[in-house]
Amino acid sequence: MAASNRSFEDVWRSCRDHLWRIAWLICNDADLADDIVAAAVARSWRRWDQLTIDDPEAYLRRAVVNEATDRLRGRGRDRRWAIRRTGDGRGQYTVIDAAVDRTDLAGALEKLPVGQRAVIVLRYWADLTEQATAEALDVSVGTVKSRTSRALATLAVDLGRPSHDTA
């Protein structure tokens, strides 16, 4: 199907929340995610009638990922330049630091048993309730709660952060 066979507005309405969430997961900054999605969508909208693609949602997803990657590279260059120029950079939590944290989190998630990883992704990335997560995994709500608790405790240890259960 050509992109022009579906109106841009229809495609945008069907995937805008998903696009924003992708941008946010990449950059960990809600305002920056808004900017990334707006820039990627504006660029795609300008040439929408000229595109011939089978999956317009995938095209927009890729545009968002590309825009996020470009922006984060730029911020990394800007930060490195500022540190070289001023010799300072300590005490500031930057997008680069957030990217390192996400990389650490991805590694820690991979270490979890599949059941715990699935619960964490469904509960915290897909924003499902405990009940919806239980239904999706065909387990009890109690199993979801216990897997979540164990996974969060393991992640806290792996990431070197205090657990919420400690006093």
Residue-wise pLDDT tens for the chain (167 aa)? 444 467 878 888 888 888 888 888 777 788 888 999 999 888 888 777 766 677 788 788 878 888 887 877 755 555 554 554 555 555 555 555 555 566 777 778 878 888 888 788 778 877 778 998 888 788 999 999 999 999 989 988 887 765 555 44
pLDDT of residue 143: 96
| Per-residue confidence (pLDDT) for residue 117, from 0 to 100 | 82
Query: Distance between CA atoms of 159 and 149, rounded to whole angstroms?
Result: 15
pLDDT at 102: 66
pLDDT at 96 (0 to 100): 56
Which contacts (CB < 8 Å, 24+ apart) does range 83-91 have? none
* pLDDT of 74: 59
Q: What angle do CA 97, 99, 100 make, to 5 degrees?
A: 65
* CA–CA dist 90, 100 (Å, integer): 15
CB 112 within 8 A of CB 151: yes
